[in-house]
Structure 1
Amino acid sequence: MLDNVLQSPSLSLVADSTKVLNYKLNSQNYITQMFAAQLPSIKTGFFNVHMSRGFIIQPHWHTNVNELVFIISGEASVAIFNPFTRKLMTYRLTQGQNIVLPKGWFHWIVALKDQTHMLTIFDKPTPDIVYGSDFLRFTPADIMHLAYCINPDEYNRAVAPIQASHVLGPPKWCGNQPGTYQPHQQQYYAEQMQPPTGYYNY
C-alpha cells in the first residue's frame, strides 16, 4: 500500500526535536517532543527528556504503546511494575543503556545524576498517558476507603496538594529538596548487564 505522506509534494524528512516544548519545570528539567505533528513522515515518536539529580518522571502508564528509554547521558533509576509476577523491577541505567517498558505497565524514572538526558521512544506516534497524579486526585475518598480501608479524611488531606497532572517532579510547592534522592534498597537488575554473545563492537 502506498504511503500518502511520503508521496506528498510538501514532504519533509527533517525536523528539530528541541523546538516543541512538551513540559517545563525549570531550565534544567524539561521535555521536548517529536511526533507526527512535528514530522508527518515519522511512524514513531519520542520525548527528549532533560533532568537533574533527584527529579522524577512521575508514575504513569501508557494504554496504547510500548516505550523504549535510551540514556544519552547521565544515569537514571527506572522502576516498572510487572503485572504478571506482581513485582516491582528496578533498573539502574547509565549512558548508552536502554530499557523496554511494555504497554500498560506502571513505571517511573528518577535521575541519579545532574544533566541526565534521555529519549523515550514509542512504537506509535501518539502515546496515551495515564498519570498517577490523576489517578490519585480523581479517585473519591469513599472509594479508597471501601477498597482499601483508608481513612477518607486522611486520604483527602494527603492528595489535596495534587491540583493538576504532574509530569516532572517534585512539584514546585513540595518541600522535598531535589538532589537528595537515594534509590530504595532493591536489587538493580541492570548493574549486571553484559554484552550478549555475538555482540559486535563497532
Structure 2
Amino acid sequence: MDNPGFVRQEEGLPSMEPSKISQKNPHSSVENKKYYWSMMRIFLACFLACLITTAIGVLILALVYVGQYSPRTGQDTSVSTTVNQPSQNNVDSRFNFLNNIGKTKVFTFQGGSLQWARYRNNPNDYSTEAELKFGVSINKHQAKMTLGILRIFSQGMKVPHWHLNANEHGYLLQGKAWIGIVEAGGSTVTTFNVSAGQVVFFPKNVLHWVKSVGDEDCVIISFFTTHDELKTLDVDDAFFGTPEDILSRALKPEGGVQFIRTFKKPIEDQSINLPTNLKDLVNNASYDQSANSSVWKYFYDLKGSKEFIFPGGKMQWARYRKNGVGLNENEKIYSESLNQHADTLTLGTLRIFSNGLRVPHFHFNAHEMGYVISGCGQIGIVGDEPVQEFSVGIGDVFFFPIGTQHYIKSTCSEDLLMITASTTGNQLETLDMDDYFHGTSDHILAQLFLKKQEEFKKIPVFTVDQSINQP
C-alpha cells in the first residue's frame, strides 16, 4: 500500500498531505514534475490533433461548397483563354446587370472579330469576376438573351452557319452588308442588302451568311435568344466533319472522292473569313435583292420606321403589332414573321435627350437587354436585391430582369442612344410609374404612404406621354 503510483491513481494528489508524501518517498517531487510534463505533453498532442482535424474539416466543407457551383450547361464554340477561376462573391452587385463589353476579350479571326456579353459553362472561361457575375445573372434569370458584337472587315464574310439553340436579331451599327438566307428544302434563297440603322432576323437553325460589301468595316450588334452558351455550326466545320465518301455521295461532284480530297482544312478558324487571295478566288460577285415579300420576313428598316416622340427623347421599334396596327405593308410581313417563330425578340432604339429621363417602369412580359451606342447615363434598378445607381457609357451592356423596375437618365451634353431587345415576339407590355400612381385609388395611396388623401392631387395628369421626360 506504500506504492505512490497507486495512491495517485485512486485518491489523487490533492487528498495527500505534503508532509506524508515526502516521508513516504523523498523523490516524489521529482516524480510529480515528471508526471506534470507527461500530462502536458498528452494535452498538447490532443490539442494539436484537434487543430489538424478542424482544418481538414473546414477544407472539405470548402471543397464541397465550390463543387456545388454548377450553372446550366452548354457548349462554347469560340476560342477562349483559361484563367484562374474568378469568384463573383466580392464583386459589386451592379455587375449582375452591367457588362463593360468594350473591355472584354476580343476573339480575332482572319476577317474580323467578336466580343461577348454572355454566359459560359466553365467559370475559367471568363476574363474577369465582373463578367462572371453578369453571365451567372442572365443564366439564373433565364433571360433568353446573349449579346455579341460582330465586326467584319471590308470584303470579309461571316461564313454560312446556323445557330442550334437560338434565334438571332441583329442591328447594323456601321457599314453595309449583303445577307443570304437558305430556307428549309433549299428551294428558296433570300438575299438582300442592309445598311446602318437597319435590323436583320435569323430564325433558329436557318442557314445564313453576312458579307461586308462597303468600304468600311461592318459592325453588327446581335442579340441571341439563349441564356446558355450559344451553339453554332459553320458550313466548313460541317463539311470537314463528314466522311469523304459520304460527301462524295451527297454532292456527286465531277471526280467524286478525288475532288473531295482537294479540299484542305485551314489551320485558322474561318468563322469570319477574308482570304488573302480573294481576288484570285472570286471574279464575278453580284449582290442580288430578293422580292420584298421574302426579304421583309428577315429584315426591318428600323431607322426608316415611325418615330414615337416624347418631351425628353424618342423611340423606334422593330416589333409585332396585333392586327398590324400602325404598320405599313412591308412592316406587317416582318411583324407576322416575328410572331410566328418561338422565342423571338422585340428590338428598338431609345434616344434620350441630354438631361432627359426614361421614367421608372417595368415590363410584364419580357426581360430587356441593351447596348449603349453613344452618350452616357445613369441607371437605377429596384428589384429583389438592393443595387446602387450606376453609370453607363459607349460600349456598355445592361440587363433588366422581367418585372424589375428601372430608369435611365441621360447625363452627357449629347443624346444617350441605345439599341434594346426585349424577350417577346408579342406586343411588349410596360407600365410606367406615373401611370400606376394615377391608376391606383388615392385613398389606397394615402393608407400606404401615411399621407392625407388630398396630397395625391398634387401629382398631375399629363396630356403628353411622359415616358421620356424633361425636368
Give the structure 1 partner of residue 259 of structure 2: 154
Give the structure 1 partner of residue 76 of structure 2: none
Give the structure 2 partner of residue 23 of structure 1: 107
Which runs of 5 or more residues in structure 1 are unaligned?
1-7
Q: Is 1:137 aligned with 2:240?
A: yes
Q: Deviation at 1:51? A: 1.9
Return the letter of the residue paired with 2:165: N
Contact 2:114–2:151, Cα closer than 8 Å, also in 1: yes
Equivalent of residue 223 in structure 2, options 96, 121, 142: 121
- Percent identical pairs in the alignment equals 15
Structure-1 separation of matches of 2:283 and 2:201:
24
Contact 2:172–2:197, Cα closer than 8 Å, also in 1: yes
1:125-165 alpha-carbon deviations (Å, 9 max, x no partner): 321101111111122221122223231111110x2143454
Contact 1:29–1:50, Cα closer than 8 Å, also in 2: yes
Say if 1:20 and 1:62 are closer, same or farther in 2 by CA, change over 3 A.
same
Give the structure 2 partner of residue 5 of structure 1: none
Q: Is 1:35 aligned with 2:118?
A: yes
Higher relative contact order (CA 8 A, sep 6+): 1
Contact 1:61–1:107, Cα closer than 8 Å, also in 2: yes
Contact 1:49–1:117, Cα closer than 8 Å, also in 2: yes
Say if 1:160 and 1:9 are closer, same or farther in 2 by CA, change over 3 A.
closer
Contact 1:133–1:165, Cα closer than 8 Å, also in 2: no
Give the structure 2 partner of residue 65 of structure 1: 166
Structure-1 separation of matches of 2:283 and 2:271:
18
The structure carrying a bigger strand percent of its residues is 1
Contact 2:109–2:270, Cα closer than 8 Å, also in 1: no
Quote the RMSD (CA, aligned, Å): 3.0
Return the letter of the residue paired with 1:119: I
Give the structure 1 partner of residue 45 of structure 2: none
Question: Any idea what SS the aligned residue of 1:145 has?
Answer: helix
Q: Is 1:109 aligned with 2:210?
A: yes
Say if 1:46 and 1:149 are closer, same or farther in 2 by CA, change over 3 A.
same
Structure-2 separation of matches of 1:76 and 1:176:
17
Structure-2 separation of matches of 1:53 and 1:86:
30
Give the structure 2 partner of residue 168 of structure 1: 272
Question: Any idea what SS the aligned residue of 1:18 has?
Answer: helix
Say if 1:181 and 1:153 are closer, same or farther in 2 by CA, change over 3 A.
closer
Structure-2 separation of matches of 1:124 and 1:181:
39
Structure-2 separation of matches of 1:193 and 1:81:
18
1:82-103 alpha-carbon deviations (Å, 9 max, x no partner): 1167311112111110111000
Contact 2:150–2:219, Cα closer than 8 Å, also in 1: yes
Q: Deviation at 1:14? A: 1.5
Return the letter of the residue paired with 2:217: Q
Return the letter of the residue paired with 1:131: D
Q: How many residues align?
A: 188
Contact 1:54–1:111, Cα closer than 8 Å, also in 2: yes
Say if 1:181 and 1:168 are closer, same or farther in 2 by CA, change over 3 A.
farther
Equivalent residues in 2 for 1:68-79 (5 A)? 68-79=169-180
Return the letter of the residue paired with 1:145: S
Please, which moves more after superposition, 34-43 or 69-78? 34-43
Structure-1 separation of matches of 2:157 and 2:268:
16
Please, which moves more after superposition, 84-93 or 54-63? 84-93
Question: Any idea what SS the aligned residue of 2:289 has?
Answer: coil
Q: Deviation at 1:53? A: 1.5
Which one has a bigger Cα radius of gyration? 2
Return the letter of the residue paired with 1:72: L
The structure carrying a bigger helix percent of its residues is 2
Say if 1:133 and 1:164 are closer, same or farther in 2 by CA, change over 3 A.
farther
Q: Deviation at 1:177? A: 4.4
Say if 1:82 and 1:167 are closer, same or farther in 2 by CA, change over 3 A.
same
Structure-2 separation of matches of 1:118 and 1:167:
15
Contact 1:71–1:94, Cα closer than 8 Å, also in 2: yes
TM (normalized to structure 1)?
0.79
Return the letter of the residue paired with 1:18: G
1:66-95 alpha-carbon deviations (Å, 9 max, x no partner): 000110111111111111673111121111
TM (normalized to structure 2)?
0.36
Structure-2 separation of matches of 1:64 and 1:153:
35
Give the structure 1 partner of residue 147 of structure 2: 46
